[in-house]
Structure 1
């Protein structure tokens, strides 16, 4: 085995480990978070405000923090994301008043924005430094996607089961609350475990993610470089047709995820007859969805080979997700066993398709950008997903219950898949002499 091969395997392993350590703490919050807020005496309106603080903070900081990673480096920004999440999980886990809980959720949103892109950008930078701009990226990206899905699935299960596994019944929970003036509740423990994992994440990032030294920069250089990088990312999305398809596909995925996240809990509660048992069913479904996403990510390189190109693989993956949403819509009005089985299959197909499409889509994106704007491009993609998800959530909220919201989500995913139907090949574009890097210019799109 050559040194280059060994270095590439090391980069893949470290990238997958970073994905695992970053998403495990957030997975631990999925099951207990809303229930913890309720235990703290928060109203539904207050809880909605906490989530709005998270989403708005992430959206506002998405592009500036992507530019920060391109200017300062991947490792320092990832470490900062871990520290913000450490503070956020501690505040939310121990906070008892609304302003502390809101601050914790806002810090979590800031950590999410900081983390959007640097790890993947580090991996691509490292691989291309060893093997050139034509290096194979899908395998490592797929492993990172699988590690993310595994972390979320494991975290979801542990977040719901840890209080029971530790024997924290009502009596023990009452003793805990009394001994600590109500700071620690049984539902707080998964978040505090997540905070401990964040410490491991920060230490791993600082010691394992080596990157070439960057030129020494002053605060003025940083502040001057971020706007230029952000503008370059926005120009790329406006002028490069392939990147535009990536962004539109991300928006379609954001809309579909909003439909899933808003409607599935209520559907699960209606099925089981109680909100508590519905929450347990939703946690199990979420875990199964993450597992399906991980399987899809693992098969992303094979999907590209069978489909004939990365672009066709994206079309196939998004088409699978669209079929899952349409199946969920078609089974909304029926409660028979057969319909329930088909609905479960549809739920799995949504995440399986996302997993298969993601690495192929990002492989195409990375071949259109340079290192100087890579994290920014990923942040633009994440921003498209978040904004489309917020808009879809507002639309779903005013639609009548029934199949229509599911079918609209499926139609959006189908439109995202059709964006890729007439394109072939995924080679990087040819740059004309004198073309500037992505952060300050745009890359010309290939014609069919």
Structure 2
């Protein structure tokens, strides 16, 4: 199969992989904190679990990106899915600090393994069949939109299932009693996530076709991965557009840290209690994911209207910064109008980043060869995560009020200004290796 049908098949498979990987994460998002505390964990312990996830993912971003470029996309993605199955099962059924810490650590490893291979597979396949100048932005924007949609649906279902189990003849209590307390209502969405991850692994192994690779040995991997990482890092810091992409990812990380730290408390303040605040934040998060998906779907239109991918990134980051500015000016207000403006700012934040991300990645893929693609994506993810972690410390040290929100706004504005300068010319791409895709 050649021509457009192959590209449509590759795009459909890429979107399916995005949905199947991120849907379980959305399912586990809403009940996570409540599940841990229901099992007797303190908030300090919960913070330690999330730190285990973040630090593990950050530490392994570059090695796993290099591993994908050396071993292949399919095997690394399948490994990520297998680790997610183990992680979700531990988190759903565990009851000790060690079980939760190991589960979150495994999720961090899976997150690092998954941060580039699917997108790299899609770009490899498109360029192998349509050439280096093939349209990438449309598929990347739809992949980003599919990811956001999966997170939005997963968040809603993950929050609704435990609530539904408590209705009528208390199914949740019966479930807990029948399993000796092993399965709580809050565990059910996480177990569903584990089941979806099984489907993810099977789909990856059967649908993501790659050209044959030379069989890898331990010595070849140990030699190849460090070299691939080094080459990817050198390219990322030496090429102007890639530097802009990395710094923009860091700016987005600072903004995400601001939202994630401040928005739950703000929701609790509006609703009156922590419990109702958690429900309100879950609803807002779902709306944010959906809006991000809309922004991603509009990424090609944004590039056409602004007449370049670079200016589309500038516009997207500017809109997102405007959203944080609205949250800053309403930080000390509580009237209906202020709340409406704050919600509008929250949605603008996600809309802008959703529109910017596919355009950034399209620019990135134009400047990296097949053998460095997953590594470059891992460097981008690492920049976002590290700056997010450091910015979280800075935001938490700032006084309550507009200032922390302005910190995130300023970071995005700095990221946007990087794209004001005239873009560098696109270098001649490296000829890709053909990659067959079956229907």
Report the TM-score when normalising by structure 2.
0.96
What's the CA shift for 1:337? 1.1
Secondary structure of the corresponding residue to residue 3 of structure 2 = helix
Mapped to 2, the partners of 1:76 and 1:324 lie a distance apart of 40
What does 1:325-404 correspond to in 2, within 5 Å?
325-404=324-403
Mapped to 1, the partners of 2:167 and 2:238 lie a distance apart of 56
Unaligned runs of at least 5 residues, structure 1: 438-448
Report the TM-score when normalising by structure 1.
0.94
What does 1:77-156 correspond to in 2, within 5 Å?
77-156=76-155
Mapped to 1, the partners of 2:301 and 2:395 lie a distance apart of 35
Which region of structure 1 is more displaced relative to structure 2, 212-221 or 20-29? 212-221
Aligned position for 1:215: 214
CA deviation vs aligned residue, 1:393-426 (integer Å, no higher than 9, x gap): 111111111110001100100110010011247x
What's the CA shift for 1:341? 0.8
Aligned position for 2:436: none
Mapped to 2, the partners of 1:213 and 1:401 lie a distance apart of 56
Aligned position for 1:429: 427
What does 1:310-321 correspond to in 2, within 5 Å?
310-321=309-320
CA RMSD, aligned part only? 1.6
What does 1:26-425 correspond to in 2, within 5 Å?
26-167=25-166, 171-424=170-423
Secondary structure of the corresponding residue to residue 227 of structure 2 = helix
CA deviation vs aligned residue, 1:322-366 (integer Å, no higher than 9, x gap): 000111001111111111111111000100001100110000000
Mapped to 2, the partners of 1:169 and 1:283 lie a distance apart of 23
Mapped to 1, the partners of 2:10 and 2:428 lie a distance apart of 27
Unaligned runs of at least 5 residues, structure 2: 433-439
Is the 2:27–2:193 contact (alpha carbons within 8 Å) kept by the matching residues of 1? yes
What's the CA shift for 1:168? 5.7
What's the CA shift for 1:379? 0.1
Mapped to 2, the partners of 1:342 and 1:361 lie a distance apart of 28
Mapped to 2, the partners of 1:97 and 1:166 lie a distance apart of 24
Is the 1:168–1:186 contact (alpha carbons within 8 Å) kept by the matching residues of 2? no
What's the CA shift for 1:215? 1.4
Aligned position for 1:445: none
Residues 190 and 429 of structure 1, relative CA distance in 2, 3 Å threshold = same
What's the CA shift for 1:430? 3.7
What's the CA shift for 1:134? 1.0
Secondary structure of the corresponding residue to residue 139 of structure 1 = helix
What's the CA shift for 1:182? 1.7
CA deviation vs aligned residue, 1:67-122 (integer Å, no higher than 9, x gap): 00000000000000000001000000000111011000000000000000000000
Secondary structure of the corresponding residue to residue 214 of structure 1 = coil
Is the 1:300–1:359 contact (alpha carbons within 8 Å) kept by the matching residues of 2? yes
